[in-house]
Amino acid sequence: MEEVVFFAGSIGALGGAIAVVALRNPFYSVLALVVHLVALAGLFLTLHAEFIAAAQVVVYAGAVMVLYVFVAAYVGGVEEPEWEPISGQKFLAPVLAAALFVEFSIAILGTSLKAIGDEGPTIPLGFGSPEAIGTLMLERFLIAFEAASILLLIAAVGAVVLAARKRQDGEPTSSTRTPGREAEEVAG
Amino acid sequence: MAIEWYLVLSALLFATGAAGVLLRRSPLVVLLCLELMLNAGNLALLAFARSTGTQDGHVFALVVMVVAACEVVVGLGLIVAMFRRRLPLNVDELRGLKG
């Protein structure tokens, strides 16, 4: 049973990942990433990480992907030009990625760690539950928790500063913009 | 399932993400491929947490998710700003910092 879930999840995750890279339309790439993330949440469940799996679906496949969909729809289909600044990039990049995978595989399979060859030790009841993770986060990893919350705050402020329309340096504000420019913006 | 399977799958997903970062030129898709790499790292962290029988890796994976969310928010803000200024949405043409 566990094998079936693992192979179904890994096929979904791998197929989603390849679709993200291969699809030309960014909108379809975002949708493929949703498939990848949901399949990965299933894999997390087989590792007894229930809370992380739930957070993955809610935070990633829910919130972050909605953000991506909005930006993909706002920016629209970006045409990727065919010319290559580095000659042979289309062939060189997959070769480099394959080399990276081979290197990782040698490192994983050639390791002297005996523990990765089996399923891991028997785990107590409640392993990976919200209660256990919450206790760990608010006691042992309190500083990491606080640092993460400050980082989120800074990122939220930074995103507003970056994406907000500049009203200085001669750019017309929304009140002074002429209808012609408005139409030009819609067309552009 | 042995932990090795999860680690090899994680390496495969990471390599796929790296190939995407090297291949694609739209900054939106490059960000998506970065997500793939971060999630591959998360899978390895959770596999090791299962292997050692401790839950520290779960907290680490949560922090990685927070950092990924921050990266997405700032990156998408940059893409929207670039789009508003009519800059080309192509990572090869955006070489203002290259000198």
| pLDDT (0 to 100) of residue A12 | 94
| pLDDT (0 to 100) of residue B63 | 93
Interchain CB contact of A31 with B (< 8 Å): no
> Could you say which of B3, B5, B70 has the minimum Cβ distance to residue A120?
B3
> Could you say which of B14, B70, B81 has the minimum Cβ distance to residue A163?
B81
Q: pLDDT higher for A181 or A55?
A: A55
Q: For residue range B52-68, list pLDDT tens digits in order.
A: 888 899 999 999 999 99
Looking up tokens 């399977």, which residue turns up? B5
- The 8 Å CB, 24+ separation contacts for A70-73 are A71/B28, A71/B76, A71/B79, A71/B80, A72/A26, A72/A27, A72/A30, A72/B28, A73/A27
Determine whether the interchain pair B80/A162 forms a contact, defined as Cβ–Cβ distance below 8 Å: yes
In A, which residues are within 8 Å of B18 by CB distance?
96-97, 100
In B, which residues are within 8 Å of A90 by CB distance?
23
Percent of chain B predicted with pLDDT > 70: 98
In A, which residues are within 8 Å of B72 by CB distance?
64, 67-68
Residue B54's nearest CA partner among A102, A128, A78 is A128
> Could you say which of A3, A46, A71 has the minimum Cβ distance to residue B28?
A71
| pLDDT (0 to 100) of residue A152 | 93
pLDDT at B92 over 70: yes
Q: For residue range A52-105, list pLDDT tens digits in order.
A: 999 999 988 888 899 899 988 888 766 666 666 677 778 888 899 999 999 999
Interface ipTM: 0.91
**DSSP helix/strand/coil, B16:** helix
pTM higher than the cut 0.90: no
Determine whether the interchain pair A46/B1 forms a contact, defined as Cβ–Cβ distance below 8 Å: yes
Determine whether the interchain pair B52/A115 forms a contact, defined as Cβ–Cβ distance below 8 Å: yes
Give me the sign of the Cα torsion angle B23, B29, B34, B35. negative
C-alpha distance from B79 to closest chain A C-alpha (Å): 8
Report B:9-48 residues touching A (Cβ under 8 A). Answer: 9, 11-20, 22-26, 28-29, 31-33, 35-36, 39, 42-43, 46-47
> Could you say which of B1, B7, B23 has the minimum Cβ distance to residue A108?
B7
In A, which residues are within 8 Å of B59 by CB distance?
133, 136-137, 140-141, 144
For A76, other C-beta atoms within 10 Å of its C-beta total 11
Would you say A26 and A32 are in contact if contact means Cβ atoms under 8 Å apart?
Answer: no
pLDDT at A167 over 80: no
pLDDT band at A15 (very low <50, low <70, confident <90, very high): very high
Q: pLDDT higher for B91 or B13?
A: B13
Determine whether the interchain pair B61/A188 forms a contact, defined as Cβ–Cβ distance below 8 Å: no
Percent of chain A predicted with pLDDT > 90: 42
